[in-house]
Amino acid sequence: MPITRRSLLLGLSAALAGCSTQYSEQAANYGPRPDETHPLPGMPLDKIKPELRRATVDYPSSEKPGTVIVDTPARRLYYILGDNKAIRYAVSVGREGLQLRGNAYVGRKAEWPSWTPTSNMIKRDPGKYAKLAGGMEGGTNNPLGARALYLYRGGNDLHFRIHGTNQPESIGYAMSSGCIRMLNYDVIDLYQRVPTGTKVIVIQEGQPVG
């Protein structure tokens, strides 16, 4: 069938409408959260690179829906939906030598959690962390951000977290102290999807993905 000017214009119009809808959905994903304990003002999309925005993507996997997969080399976290689909989130991961590997599960969850540096963190950098040994209350200045998912294995707290951040510029990089950081807006979304007991798989360099 020959391509007519009308069909070309209709196709272009449909494509533009699809892009507009996607942009509107993404803008809503990062809009204001006035009902939070510590309200969030919203994050303009031009502050988030397109490849770092939350999106539903094709993701072949044999894991059950609801599983969380952290692809450390790619700096991405996937929430498995089933039918080879997943929600993709951009994350920041631990620096070399500070990264978790293997399977874990969500042992507990917290909204606007308090934070205490681990003894290892205090030993590595006492000038930065010793003053916080007594803990820090939850809030927008807290490094755990809006939500935290605490990772366990065999009933033991691994001291690794999937959490929000007060450093959104770190997303997409390997620069955390070992935990998995997400934008506050994304960790709020993941938190409401993930119950305690959820399986978490952390993939490192050289491991198969999916």
Give the residue numbers marked as catalytic: 163, 179
**What's the rounded Cα separation, in Å, for the pair 31 and 80?**
24
Q: How many CA atoms lie within 13 A of 172 on its CB side?
A: 9
d(CA 168, CA 171): 6
Asked whether 56 and 87 are in contact (CB, 8 A), the reply is yes
Rounded to whole angstroms, the maximal C-alpha distance in the chain is 73
H helix or E strand, kind and range, residue 175: strand 174-176
